[in-house]
Structure 1
Amino acid sequence: MNRTLIVTNDFPPRAGGIQSFVHGLAACRPPGSVMVYAPSWPGCADFDRRQPYPVVRHPTSLMLPTRAVARRAAELVTGSECETVVFGAAAPLGLLAPRMRAAGARRIVMVTHGHEAAWAGVPVARGLLARIGAHADAVTYLGEYTRRRLAEVIPEDRLVRLAPGVDTGLFRPGAGGQGVRAALGLEDRPVVVCLSRLVPRKGQDMLLRAWPRVLRAVPDAVLLIVGGGPYRRVLERLARPMGDSVRITGPVPWASLPAHLDAGDVFAMPCRTRLGGLDVEGLGIVYLEASASGLPVVAGSSGGAPDAVLPGETGLVVDGASPAEIAAALVRLLEDPAAARAMGERGREWVEREWDWKLVTDRFAGLLETPPGTAAVAGT
């Protein structure tokens, strides 16, 4: 059996889209074939006990490509006879690839997200990304945007698409939204939900700046912001003048995320690119989870976010820096519930057809089982 070591900074119980993606990749492998090396995080001991594979935790909450991390990862490759090493995020831990080969790894797969695409545009980081790609058998990309950026520094014959999947059994219409509405006292009010980490790139601040315009057209609407993060105090200050038309829940357990999406009528996350292109959305799996939940989505035009929307069919793409454009999209959907529901239904069908985890599982298996030195696999 081909044993695989996944080396990653991004892994539960830390919350986030990349963490869920990498966890899903590990979970889809046959029993006994995978091991994970990841940082420590509050609650990790309980989480690790529930996994059907071993998780080895680094003593700190962040792993860098240091000698200590390289030595421990190499010991795991040798001791567990791992033929393949997967880096859950290529940058920066992919710099350890030569050490993994020296320890016996025959195949190296680098998984990329939005930040690697950003590295491709920065001179010093660009050189590091080229070094990472030079030691990989395969480098994955999320969608067309990230493929174009990575191809600037990584040979195209090493690039293969591997985007996150959606568990359409968990994220679905009727996943518990009525209970969330009842608990929050939302009743039958129109609800726009934004579920994401609270950071400037995700655009919750722009939603709040757009919200007065939405209320002028739909006075009983509610904006439900779900998630935790460093921007929470700023958002609460922006929301205060709007009273109970805005609800900020803070972080919620992962198991209750489908119910919070199901509580909405529209999903909105108007992400925007920041810091001269360094802070960019790679894809936005939450758009697809919202589509699977039967909601029309309003996405920002940052990076690869439009790859997660069929504009005009499953949702709308807006300039995440324009409150007026954001408000117009939300009003359009809230004032025409029938059209919004039809978009949500098409979104559900699209996710079932193109983004189901079974497709991701097959692609990932192909990547791991392809002979060393070969990148592309059939169907990717």
Structure 2
Amino acid sequence: MKTLILTNDFPPRAGGIQQFVHNLALRRPHGSVVVYAPAWKGAAAFDAEQPFEVVRHPTSLMLPEPSVLRRAGQIIDSHQCDSVLFGASAPLGLLAPALRGRGVERAVGITHGHEAGWARLPVARRLLRRIGDGLDVLTYLGEYTRSRMAEALSDEAAKRMARLAPGVDETLFRAGAGGAEIRRRHGLEGRPVAVCVSRLVPRKGQDTLIRAWPRVLREVPGAALLLVGGGPYRKELEGLVDAMGVRSSVVLTGSVPWEELPAHYDAGDVFAMPCRTRRRGLDVEGLGIVYLEASATGLPVVAGDSGGAPDAVLDGETGVVVSGRSVEAVAVRVAELLADRDLADRLGARGRSWVEREWTWERQAARLDGLLSPEE
């Protein structure tokens, strides 16, 4: 059995979806996968290091059009692929029915969260329904995304849905991954630290954390907030830091290399990202893999209630879920966990155990193997 992974999202282009698809590809059996993806700067060097063949489309975007269908069919023929995995179901999943005529027996499409927004828009909703009807399995991240997408699918397609979420490399995201050096770099030694690792955009709630910080400082003097990541919201956040008078307590690192992310999580005592849903449900958190990476590092998490974010937290066991719009709720929970080391340690330990039990890449790869194997 050989699988064609047909995807617009693949390294060296950066992003969470790209890492999701790549990690699944790496864990397929040797010789069982070939990838068809768009051209991207640095692709030749990246592709040369992969344990499978990567075929690049001439442009940086692939659409469900004749040229992509023709090239995909050629790859299926030359590699004798009997299954296809769409790295993101929309829109390339529309090609599934045509690819069956080239010998594909099994078609699986991955979704990532934004499809829950598609289900609310008339034209996109119809396309999502067509995609679901053409696939053997449409995956979902968690209950939130499943329920929203199911409303747009036919009854039969909804019954064929299956859960497949990103995994966490628990050998990289762990306590002792280099946090002491990050603390030294930013002058945070000896201070209680809340860390948020995320792109700087309004949905993620970094502004709520900054607004909450004066209240946190009243409960936990000397506490520091470490905001890790870059993005278009940085200028507004910098202005808010000054407006709230917390410049000495808040550090914005900007973008950091991927290989330094485990150390930045490890620099914190608590992880907080109070995400919130925006634009009438169109701008929503699909899952929140950052909460699981923080749990793997042994940190208790304070999560917002946007979309599927609560699926990545065992509320009251690995962390707490709060309204991402409530400055007061965020301040109370972050301060509580920074002040109560025993409570923080208990939640962090449970989070680590949960990740090891349910969220490793090996577990997700095993789930994918079951989805790609034809039913007996």
TM-score, normalisation: structure 1? 0.93
Q: Residue 298 of structure 1: SS of its match in structure 2?
A: strand
Which range moved further: 254-263 or 99-108?
99-108
Q: Secondary structure at the match of 1:99?
A: helix
Instruction: List gaps (5 residues or longer) in structure 1.
Output: 375-380
8 Å Cα contact 1:191/1:224 also seen in 2 = yes
Per the alignment, residue 88 of structure 1 pairs with: 87
1:261-280 matches, within 5 Å, as 261-280=265-284
What is residue 166 of structure 2 aligned with on the other side? 164
Equivalent-residue separation in structure 1 for 2:15 and 2:214 (angstroms): 29
For residues 183-235 of structure 1, what are the alpha-carbon distances to aligned partners after superposition, in whole Å with 9 as ceiling and x for unaligned? Answer: 22211111111111222222222222222222222231111111222222222
Contact 1:16–1:197 under 8 Å retained in 2: no
Aligned partner of residue 11 in structure 1, secondary structure: coil
Which residue is 2:75 aligned to?
A: 76
Q: Identify unmatched segments of 5+ residues in structure 2.
A: none
1:313 and 1:68 mapped to 2: Cα distance? 50
1:332 to 336, 342, 352: 336
Aligned counterparts, 1:229-378, within 5 A: 229-240=231-242, 241-371=245-375
Decide whether the 8 Å contact of 1:17 with 1:286 is kept in 2.
no
Residue in structure 1 matched with residue 176 of structure 2 by the alignment? 174
How far apart are residue 140 of structure 1 and its match? Answer: 0.8
Query: 2:198 pairs with 176, 196, 199, which one?
Result: 196
CA distance 1:189–1:41, shift in 2 (3 Å): farther
Task: After TM superposition, give the deviation of residue 78 of structure 1 in Å.
Answer: 2.5
CA distance in 1, matches of 2:123, 2:294: 37
Query: Structure 1 residue 245: deviation in Å?
Result: 1.4
CA RMSD of aligned residues (A): 1.7
Shift in Å at residue 333 of structure 1? 0.8
Q: Secondary structure at the match of 1:250?
A: coil
Are the equivalent residues in 2 in contact too, given 1:74–1:99 (CA < 8 A)? no
SS of 2:230's equivalent in the other structure is coil
Query: 1:1-30 CA distances to partner (integer Å, 9 max, x unpaired)?
Result: x11111222222333322221111101011
Of the candidates 171, 185, 189, which is equivalent to residue 187 of structure 1?
189
Q: Percent identity?
A: 64
CA contact (8 A) 2:195 2:271 kept: yes
Which SS does the other structure have where 1:47 is aligned?
Answer: helix
Larger displacement relative to structure 2 (209-218 or 141-150):
209-218
- Contact 1:226–1:252 (8 Å) recurs in 2: yes
Give the distance between the partners of 2:42 and 2:110, measured in 1 at CA: 25
Query: What is the match of residue 97 of structure 1?
Result: 96
2:193–2:268 contact (8 Å) kept in structure 1: yes
Please give the residue correspondences for 1:112-127 in structure 2 after superposition, counting only pairs within 5 Å.
112-127=111-126
**3-state SS in 2 of match to 1:112:** coil
Q: Please, which moves more after superposition, 65-74 or 337-346?
A: 65-74
The residue matched to 1:307 in structure 2 has which SS?
helix
Letter in 1 for 2:248: D
For 2:193, give the aligned amino acid.
Answer: V
Report the CA distance between 1:258 and its aligned residue. Answer: 0.9
1:54 positional shift: 1.7
Once the two structures are superposed, what CA deviation does each residue of 1:44-93 show, in whole Å capped at 9, x if it has no partner?
A: 33322222112223343333333333333233222322211111111122
Is the 8 Å Cα contact of residues 8 and 38 (structure 1) preserved in structure 2? Answer: yes
1:24-48: CA deviation from partner (whole Å, max 9, x where unpaired): 1101011211122223334333322
Are 1:150 and 2:171 counterparts?
Answer: no
Q: Which residue of 2 aligns with 1:377?
A: none
Contact 2:47 2:53 (8 Å CA) reproduced = yes
- CA–CA separation in structure 2 for the residues paired with 1:275 and 1:59: 35
TM-score (structure 2 length as normaliser): 0.94
Q: Which amino acid aligns with 2:300?
A: P
Work out whether residues 239 and 246 of structure 1, in 8 Å CA contact, stay in contact via their aligned partners in 2. Answer: yes
Partner of 1:221: 223
The 3 A distance-change label for structure 1 pair 119 and 291 is same
Equivalent residues of 1:177, 1:261 under 8 A apart:
yes
Structure 2: how far apart are the matches of 1:182 and 1:49?
37
Alpha-carbon distance change, 202 to 152 in structure 1, aligned in 2, over 3 angstroms: same
